[in-house]
Structures are given as C-alpha cells and as structure tokens.
Homo-oligomer: A and B are copies of this chain.
Amino acid sequence: MSIDLTIVQFCPKYADMDYNIEYMTDNIKEDDSDIIVFPELSLSGYFFLKKSDILDLALRADGEIISQFQNYAEKYNKAIVFGFIEKDKSNFYNSAAILMPDKAESSIYRKSHLFYKERLIFEQGNTGFFNVYWEEKDLNIGTMICYDWRFPEAARSLALKGADLILCPANLVTGVWEEAMRTRALENKVYVAVINRVGYESINEETLQFNGKSTIISYNGKNIISAGEDNEIALTAEINPEKTRDKSFNEINDIFIDRRPELYFK
C-alpha cells in the first residue's frame, strides 16, 4: 500500500502559540495526504534560555491543545506529527506528538539527545526509541528529533525495531546533516524525512539561523524531494513501506542478517 507523506517547512512565530496553531491547522485541513509532519517545537518556537520563559508555552500531552490535534487526526484520518514543549509534573521535554487516527496508537517521543542550550530548560528524553504502528495502513513510523540525527544508534534502533519511515522534525542550523541523513536511510533501508524550519531567532545577542532544506529521502539513500533553505513550503511524496522490509540487496547479502552484534561495542 502506498502512503502520501507531507512535510511542512515553515517559520513558527516565537512564543506565539495562537499563530502557530492556526498555521498548522490550516495546513492540516488543506492537506489530503496520509501523514503530515511539522518541525521540532513548531507550536512554541525554539530558542529559550529560562524555564520561566516557557511556562505559558508548555503543554501537557493530555491537555486541550494536543487533544484538539488528536481530534483532527481522527476527523481527517491522518497521522499528524509535530514538536512541542511538553510539561510533565515539574519537568519539561522537547517532545514530538505522533497523533494517529486511532487514539490508542498515538504516542509522545521525548528527544533523547539535547542540543546546546536546550539543556538549560529540558530534561533528557526518557521514552527511548519506538515506532508507532498504523494498522490500517500497515506502516511503522519511527520518530526522532533534530540532533538525534548525529547518533547512528537513533535511526538504527528505530529500524531494527521495524520502522519503515523515520521522521525527524528539526530546527537545524547547519548543513552537515544532509549526507548523514541520506546515510541513515541507506544503512537501514528505510525512508527518512527531515522536517526543518526556516527563519531565525535571537536572544541575548545570539542568533540562530534555521536553514530549511527539508527533505524526504528514499530507502536507497537518495533524496525524493527537497525544500529550499528559506521558504515556507509543504512537500508531498509517495512512499511504499513494503519496499523497506526486504533488507537484502543481492541473493546473498541482507544488511540486517549480515550484522554481527556480538562484535559491536556499545
């Protein structure tokens, strides 16, 4: 079964949750694909240095705003994935909501590897790497966030657990991830999508320039479709999860069966 995947590259307004919710909601309503994905922290903006600055932007996973997006997932029979500041008791996480048409399949991933000054406000993610299985579409969706890209173990863990598609909502500020993300697709024979933002944010005279280039990568490590580095755009590609499940590439080699985990140093 083929699946239409849409990635939305945009510039979230800093600390303007109303604007961002409306922008994302409009995209969800206009889109007719099976999955729609937005960048990391797309509800809030990215660059915060004090917990006191995010109190009004932090959401409970079971709160009203996430529930509203869950309702859209059900209403439009669509998987909806986006980043948000999650509040759990007194802790904050850099999280991604993976909201499925069947609420029982929905889940929250908390970013495992924190980048730079995220450490000032977020706890390290404690959910680990897991996939969400969409039974109706027979699709295994793995999710990681931004700097997780740099650790081959992140995508590897998701792929070994059966991911067909690895989503990576991101707020990337360099270009060094591009070859690496194609490598993640190739070395695991899975689809990979990087959903980056554009624009910039400044605080205390430090500016982060986000560089777009959101990309859907095929299981052969080649880009299917890519965005520019500074424009807002929604891109759609068709993916076929069954293509990712046979890990052989000739009559003898299979990139998963050929592994020698007993020799690997962790």
Q: Which residues of A contact B (CB under 8 A)?
A: 112-117, 119, 124, 128-129, 147, 150-154, 156-157, 160-161, 176, 179-180, 182-183, 186-187, 221, 250, 252-253, 255, 258-261, 263-266
Smallest CB separation, A192 vs chain B (Å):
13
Q: This chain: how many copies in the complex?
A: 2
Smallest CB separation, A36 vs chain B (Å):
27
**Residue in A115, A161, A265 with the greatest tally of chain B CB atoms within 10 Å:** A265
Q: Is the CB of A186 within 8 A of B182?
A: no
Residue of B nearest to A262 (CB): B128
Q: Is the CB of A253 within 8 A of B186?
A: no
Choose among B152, B160, B261 the residue that contacts A187 (Cβ–Cβ < 8 A).
B152
Residue of B nearest to A120 (CB): B252
Residue of B nearest to A118 (CB): B252
Q: Is the CB of B176 within 8 A of A180?
A: no
Provide the residues of chain B in CB contact with A255, threshold 8 Å: 150-151
Residue of B nearest to A127 (CB): B263
Complex Cα spacing A226 to B240, Å? 36
Q: Would A265 and B186 be within 8 Å (CB), given that A179-B179, A221-B179 are in contact?
A: no
Complex Cα spacing A166 to B255, Å? 21
Closest 4 CB pairs of A and B: A152-B152, A157-B265, A153-B264, A183-B183
Smallest CB separation, A252 vs chain B (Å):
5
Q: Is the CB of A128 within 8 A of B263?
A: yes
Choose among B114, B160, B182 the residue that contacts A179 (Cβ–Cβ < 8 A).
B182
Smallest CB separation, A129 vs chain B (Å):
6
Q: Is the CB of A153 within 8 A of B186?
A: no
Q: Would A265 and B187 be within 8 Å (CB), given that A116-B250, A255-B150 are in contact?
A: no
Provide the residues of chain B in CB contact with A154, threshold 8 Å: 264
Choose among B156, B179, B182 the residue that contacts A264 (Cβ–Cβ < 8 A).
B156
